[in-house]
Structure 1
């Protein structure tokens, strides 16, 4: 019996390498080999630092913004959910891996039997006998011998789920950093717009006062008063809207950070000094996108589906299990562990469903379809990443020209407004020309602030889409 058990275990070890999962090959060809170049796209600076390898503390330069991001990484609830998802996946992996090893159970029993030899109608002497049986055993029950890799493939799938959840956490972390920075810059822009509207309101108020005085003394018309009041009330409306926008910006920032951001860490304006590094990516190929956490997550999920095919294929082969015990048996408790009282048993078994009405075939077809869906999801994830980088580069290539042109436009409009006002006061130009010049100057300055926000936000988006902060994120592990 012992030799048979040893032979069974030996054959199991020899067959343990059998794996019915298809060989994994990373899908290729979903995107071009290089990032877009030429035309609106900026020329890559060969000596530039790889943006994807710059930690966020080095990329974001404003100390206030750094403090806000750090608080968000410590308190954001979405990041905590992502961290909990990692712990859940690890726990599931631990449960699945337990099936690779036998579960050992220990048990003990004592049986007491009275054999009455002198029962009524019997022929005995009337004596009775007490029979005592004590037993202690340890063994395994129905442990599956994983000859065809079913359990190992299920364990591999669970392992890939862990990797996928870890990459999802890193992706959430990087996205959170970008969202906090964008919200912070948006608030800075609205503060700048509010400051501009309040300054303009003062100029419009002075113009309105002047036209009312001229109308009072009879050298102006009511039309001029009404036109000046239109500009004034427009600025009042802008201020009210921007004050509400600033409050909404702070609410959004507080939600992202997960706590109330101190006033000292909030921006007061869109400062002339950049809040981020103004760096173009180096001459890199599109394979840099393969390092993005969302792409890595999709690949791990694809590998998991690959392993599930192996598990589904293994179901077509016999399931071999082993039940065995070793223990001791004695008629006296004192002799339970003496020589000669030991017992053992082993019982291998095999089962193979003959008729399951297509269940195993359906499971295999489902696993293959899931794998095909995972391939498409992986390829689409890469395509989305490619588009995000291409869009950011396209805007990056021309945003500098927009800022320079808008700056010059705002300066010219400001000079024109001052000259028109002087000409009106000297009686050279009409009041309508002055009002139009004031409105043009005001609109040009508003557009300049909006363009500067677009430039700052573009740098943040380019940093995020290239996987910026990835090195630091990986070093941080699963800490929220």
Structure 2
């Protein structure tokens, strides 16, 4: 009883306390953005399907989560870590085994004691047990480290799934943007073809200079070049989407420009930074830190004796028929200890290595928290600035549309050169393309915010959690 109590005290003494420094980020994200914390925190999105509401997008996300090869690797890693934890747990329990034996032996005459060779049979059916007493918490901390590594692998898998959803949504938003820009470019090509024909006819009848015709043809060639570049970019992007999904994606499965309005998430900048601690990558970093803490206790336990108990019970006989007869039982009990006396500093080196790993894990944890904070702050800042920029671009677009109309009227009336019309059309075309790009960037910042918050704090993939040890 006294030995067990001493062991329990020693075990507690060898388990290090998890020490955390001050938070590496401000208490609230608003502090970093220079905003007042005067808004109420709205409820967060509970599920990715409530945020990514487009039917096409949801189908593609589900297919990606089912077929993406990186996610399959992550899920296999989780199962591997779970098996390693189960193996570590087994070290806390006795090992039972049955070792039946049948032996035929011959002893030479000079060793038999009878002056003649002796041949005999031995039959045994023993049951043996061995158990290492975990007086110093070595096995418990090995199990704890394996459990924390399993939790980290699960959170890494969740973080990967959120990252994949973010990548897919961004790629589909870009595809929708390129589709809309291709439509605008196609309209521009058609309009400039008509303008080029008009300029050619006016030149042929002598009512316009050759320069007007050449300028119209150059503007048409530029529009065609832009259209070809956009089509090439869209094809490359769709190949990337197929790689993310893990299988071929048909053209009708991609988003349409109208689907961009189905993506929207707006959260105020007064989010508490502690909210980020629920991100899967932050939780994984914390689990790795706890595993490093447990490994220090394992390294410390190596400096103390390892005590094992053994026992065996069974039957033995020289005849197979006498195995279970009266008097054939056999048993033994034993205890052993292994105490390191001299190891040339190996155990101390193991402790130093574990402490260095703990310092690295702590630094990695702080870095992960800082990166999470930066990602959320960047997404919130981008949402605010892009919303203002988009509104300004609508005003600019309206002004350029009126300018293009007036320039065409003046040119047709002969009071303005054709160069004025070309400049107005060129600037209007660029403004239309920029508006589409900015709108896609604004929607993409919402997706980035969703991912930066850890998938709205709700794990995307299903994970069969094992009971806590």
TM-score under structure 1 length normalisation:
0.89
**1:405 corresponds to:** 392
Q: Distance in 2 between matches of 1:54 and 1:310?
A: 39
Q: Within 5 Å, which residues of 2 pair with 1:275-424?
A: 275-281=262-268, 283-424=270-411
Is 1:189–2:183 an aligned residue pair?
A: no
Tell me how far 1:361 sits from its aligned partner. 1.0
Tell me how far 1:16 sits from its aligned partner. 4.6
Pick from 95, 107, 120 the counterpart of residue 103 of structure 1: 95
Pick from 50, 67, 91 the counterpart of residue 59 of structure 2: 67
**Aligned pair in 2 of structure 1 residues 206, 41: CA closer, same or farther (>3 Å)?**
farther
**1:153 corresponds to:** 141
State the aligned residue count: 461
Is 1:33–2:27 an aligned residue pair?
A: yes
Contact 2:29/2:269 (8 A) holds in 1: no
Pick from 123, 135, 159 the counterpart of residue 134 of structure 1: 123
Tell me how far 1:31 sits from its aligned partner. 0.9
Alignment gaps of 5+ in structure 1: 1-6
Tell me how far 1:193 sits from its aligned partner. 0.5
TM-score under structure 2 length normalisation:
0.91
Tell me how far 1:184 sits from its aligned partner. 0.6
**Aligned pair in 2 of structure 1 residues 201, 45: CA closer, same or farther (>3 Å)?**
farther
**2:250 corresponds to:** 262
Is 1:427–2:414 an aligned residue pair?
A: yes
Q: Distance in 1 between matches of 2:247 and 2:35?
A: 39
Tell me how far 1:48 sits from its aligned partner. 2.7
**1:21 corresponds to:** 15
Tell me how far 1:415 sits from its aligned partner. 1.5
Q: Within 5 Å, which residues of 2 pair with 1:86-101?
A: 86-101=78-93
Is 1:438–2:430 an aligned residue pair?
A: no
**2:209 corresponds to:** 221
Tell me how far 1:458 sits from its aligned partner. 0.6
**Aligned pair in 2 of structure 1 residues 180, 129: CA closer, same or farther (>3 Å)?**
closer
Q: Distance in 1 between matches of 2:411 and 2:380?
A: 46
Residue aligned with 2:74, SS: helix
**2:224 corresponds to:** 236
Q: Distance in 2 between matches of 1:55 and 1:173?
A: 13
1:143-183, Cα deviation, whole Å (9 max, x unpaired) = 42221111221111111110000001110111111111111
1:250-274, Cα deviation, whole Å (9 max, x unpaired) = 1111111111123322123x22761
Contact 1:153/1:310 (8 A) holds in 2: yes
Q: Distance in 2 between matches of 1:393 and 1:412?
A: 29
Contact 1:305/1:371 (8 A) holds in 2: yes
Q: Distance in 2 between matches of 1:302 and 1:390?
A: 25
Is 1:477–2:463 an aligned residue pair?
A: yes
**2:437 corresponds to:** 450
Q: CA RMSD in A?
A: 2.7
Alignment gaps of 5+ in structure 2: none
Q: Distance in 2 between matches of 1:403 and 1:107?
A: 78
**Aligned pair in 2 of structure 1 residues 47, 294: CA closer, same or farther (>3 Å)?**
closer
**Aligned pair in 2 of structure 1 residues 60, 171: CA closer, same or farther (>3 Å)?**
same
Q: Distance in 1 between matches of 2:99 and 2:7?
A: 32
The answer to which of 271-280 and 160-169 deviates more is 271-280
Contact 2:30/2:270 (8 A) holds in 1: no
Contact 2:288/2:361 (8 A) holds in 1: yes
